[in-house]
């Protein structure tokens, strides 16, 4: 039996003034190295809480500085489907940050981010609903619509 290892992450729904959400196309830790579109964010470091991790991750991955990621709008607990991951389960807390449109800056990316992030793009909810490209979580379009409607 495999030991249960949970990775805590903070994810950010970054929404611009045109109601588009920023996603990163990243390489999954899986045989064949498939990519999927995910929100900015990442692991909660030792000594951090989810809010602190959200602030740090947004800066690292985009160059944007915030002081408050707002309230948690969703919590996901899931099994990790990737065969090369260093964890068996995930716990993700999602925050919403509204910012004016910007271009992603990679100046603060970690070595791992430089390897794993393939591209970034702003998406509308309609584009998310109609894409054939892998998006995580799979119901991201519905989550974006619920955030936009609130």
Residue range 55-104, pLDDT digits in tens: 999 999 999 999 999 999 999 987 777 667 776 788 999 999 999 999 99
Instruction: Give the residues across from 42 on adjacent strands.
Output: 10
- What pLDDT score does 11 carry? 97
Architecture of domain 6-149: Alpha-Beta Complex (3.90)
Residue 2 has pLDDT above 80, yes or no: no
Rounded alpha-carbon distances, angstroms, from residue 5 to 45, 51, 53, 85, 130: 15, 21, 19, 10, 34
What residue spans define the domains of the chain? 6-149
Task: Confirm if 148 and 126 have CB atoms less than 8 A apart.
Answer: no
- What pLDDT score does 1 carry? 40
* Closest C-alpha among 75, 76, 91 to residue 4: 91
Residue 145 has pLDDT above 90, yes or no: yes
Threshold 0.75, pTM exceeds? yes
Q: pLDDT tens digit string along 11-37?
A: 999 999 999 999 999 987 767 778 999
- What pLDDT score does 83 carry? 67
Sign of CA dihedral 8, 15, 63, 23: positive
């Amino acid at each position: 039996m495999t030991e249960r290892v949970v990775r805590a992450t903070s994810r950010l729904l970054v929404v611009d003034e045109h109601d588009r959400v920023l996603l990163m196309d990243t390489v999954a830790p899986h045989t064949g190295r498939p990519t999927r579109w995910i929100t900015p964010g990442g692991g909660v470091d030792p000594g951090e809480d989810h809010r602190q991790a959200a602030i740090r991750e947004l800066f690292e991955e985009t160059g944007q500085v915030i002081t408050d990621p707002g309230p948690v709008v969703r919590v996901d607990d899931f099994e990790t489907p990737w065969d090369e991951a260093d964890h068996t389960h995930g716990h993700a807390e999602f925050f919403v940050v509204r910012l004016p449109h910007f271009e992603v800056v990679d100046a603060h990316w970690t070595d791992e981010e430089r390897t794993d992030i393939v591209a970034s793009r702003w998406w509308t909810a309609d584009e998310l609903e109609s894409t054939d490209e892998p998006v995580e979580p799979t119901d991201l379009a519905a989550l974006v619509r619920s955030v936009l409607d609130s």
